Structure 1
Amino acid sequence: MVADLALIFLWAPTEQVMGVVQRIFYFHVPEAWVGFLAFGVVFVGSLLFLITGKRRWDVLGHSAAEIGVLFTTLMLVTGATWAKPVWGVWWTWDPRLTTSLILWLIYVGYLMLRAYAPTPTRAARYSAVMGIVGFIDVPIVYFSVVWWRNIHPELLIGPASAPDSLDSRMLVTLMFSLLTFTVLFVYLLWERMSLRNAEDALRAVRQGE
């Protein structure tokens, strides 16, 4: 993480139009990536849980959803912080922003469903269905800048990105940030799953007393 910060603030060049505020980009894009990755894990975990009924897949999906909501929240906050000096407003109903907000609401709803379902079994099943259906919004968010007219910047990475859209040092910094945030996601996911498994073990001990 320290190396990532050094690249962002000391090595990557300052963007000529937006200036220093553009450096938020190196946090905003990786946060979006981790959000998408987390919800991809939710999709896989939910699907495997419905197929097998095994608790470990439910734990995987639930843990990934919590982390996904965290990073999607950070994505929305950094996006608004970046938008204010560049667009002059904190928020606009741009297709990319709107679909991102919908994605956040879907997975907040996922966590609320888990919290308020009448039984843990129903919570797991209902949220698994929601996790699968909700993932449909992820590719919609990504391709929204291609499908609809909007003021959001063009795609910079991925299959639909424009060629040579970034300075080489900016691209290296971005890729390193993506790697750093991905490693952070894996670490947080592992820790959250370990904690949830420990909670399950403690609950089983108490029920056996």
Structure 2
Amino acid sequence: MWAFIHKLGSPKWFYDISERLQPWFWAAAALLILVGSVWGLAFAPADYQQGNSFRIIYVHVPAAFLAQSIFVGLAVAALVFMVWKIKVADMAAAVMAPLGAAMTFIALFSGSVWGVPTWGTWWMWDARLTSMLILLFLYFGVIALRGAFASRDSGSRAASVLAMVGVINIPIIKYSVDWWYTLHQPASFTITSRPSMPVEMWWPLLLMVLGFYSFFIALTLMRTRSEILRRESNKRWVRDLVREDG
């Protein structure tokens, strides 16, 4: 286990292994999102209460799941960087934060669009919506802190601290519908209990969730590889690689 963690901390090893893994995740993302979106938008039955407006769930739920998962990933990467000084963890965190912010925005926007036919308004200071908005601000804070210091290491440490502290918002998001009065419906998708929707609706949603996660992994691998080349540009193996490609 420790040998694997040691290898994972090597920028060159991560660069090489991610090159082999990346195409598989791109292919999985394309296939899952294509099948899931066509199934969900064209073939899944309409909801008996919301009609066809419920179909935004196939974007809203995967984006919301991914927004929260990415921040948990940020916190874990921050802990690894702060405790074991593994540079690759900080590089991965740097590229994950903008994607997490984008997914949070998509979740908020799609939720607002969904709220118009469901609640009759674009926005309410609902517990779930408010805690997701706080998550977006946390992402912005993590991104801003990285560029707020003259020293990259200082910015990385400040962003890591905010990520580790801010992760407390994730359980608040998850349990907000149970802890407070909220108009937001309970979880539509869970892998630990029986689906609350017909299987004809649930299966395409599962495919979309898996597709979004595959997309996130593929994009993170690709952007982390670019970050490695940028930060390790003075290393011999990078110069040799650039020379071979040039």
TM-score, normalised to structure 1, is: 0.92
CA distance in 2, matches of 1:111, 1:28: 23
Do residues 82 (structure 1) and 114 (structure 2) align?
yes
How many Å apart are 1:17 and its aligned residue? 1.3
Bigger radius of gyration, 1 or 2?
2
Alignment match of 2:201 (pick from 166, 170, 174) = 170
Q: What are the ranges of 5 or more consecutive residues in structure 2 without an aligned counterpart?
A: 1-32, 240-246
| Alignment partner of 1:131 is 2:156 | no
Helix, strand or coil for the counterpart of 1:70? helix
Q: Equivalent of 1:14, from 23, 32, 46?
A: 46
Counterpart selection for 2:78 from 46, 61, 68: 46
CA RMSD of aligned residues (A): 1.8
Residues in 1 aligned to 2:105 and 2:133: alpha-carbon distance in whole angstroms: 9
C-alpha displacement at 1:173, in angstroms? 1.3
Residue of structure 1 in register with 2:242 after alignment:
none
Amino acid at match of 1:75: A
Q: Which residue matches 1:182?
A: 213
Task: Letter of the 2:105 partner, please give it.
Answer: T
> Aligned pair count?
205
Deviates more, 1:152-161 or 1:6-15: 152-161
8 Å contact 2:36–2:205 — kept in the other structure?
no
* CA distance, structure 1, for counterparts of residue 138 and residue 58 of structure 2: 25
Contact kept, 8 Å, 2:37 with 2:58, in 1: the verdict is no
Q: Tell me, what secondary structure is at the counterpart of 2:139?
A: helix
2: CA distance between counterparts of 1:123 and 1:173? Answer: 41
Instruction: Give how far 1:160 is off.
Output: 8.2
Alignment of 1:21-170 (within 5 A): 21-158=53-190, 163-170=194-201
Find the counterpart in structure 2 of residue 198 from structure 1.
229
Paired with 1:155 and 1:169, the residues of 2 have a C-alpha distance of 17
Query: Alpha-carbon deviations, 1:87-122, whole Å to 9, x = none?
Result: 111100000000000011011111011111231111
Once the two structures are superposed, residues 3-22 of structure 1 have per-residue CA deviations (whole angstroms, 9 ceiling, x without a partner) of: 12211112211112111111
Contact 2:131 / 2:169 at 8 angstroms: preserved in 1?
yes
Q: 1:185 to 1:84 in 2, by over 3 A?
A: same
Q: Aligned equivalents of 2:179 and 2:209: distance in 1? A: 25
After superposition, the C-alpha distances for 1:164-208 in whole angstroms (9 at most, x for unaligned) are 511111111111111111111111111111111121133669xx9
Decide whether the 8 Å contact of 2:72 with 2:167 is kept in 1: yes
Share of identical aligned residues, percent?
29
The residue type equivalent to 1:31 in the other structure is: A
Determine the C-alpha separation between the residues in 2 that align with 1:42 and 1:185.
13
SS state of the match for residue 151, structure 1? Answer: coil
Shift in alpha-carbon separation, 1:10–1:130, aligned structure 2, 3 A: same
* CA distance 1:204–1:66, change in 2 (3 Å): farther
How far has the Cα of 1:139 moved from its partner? Answer: 1.1
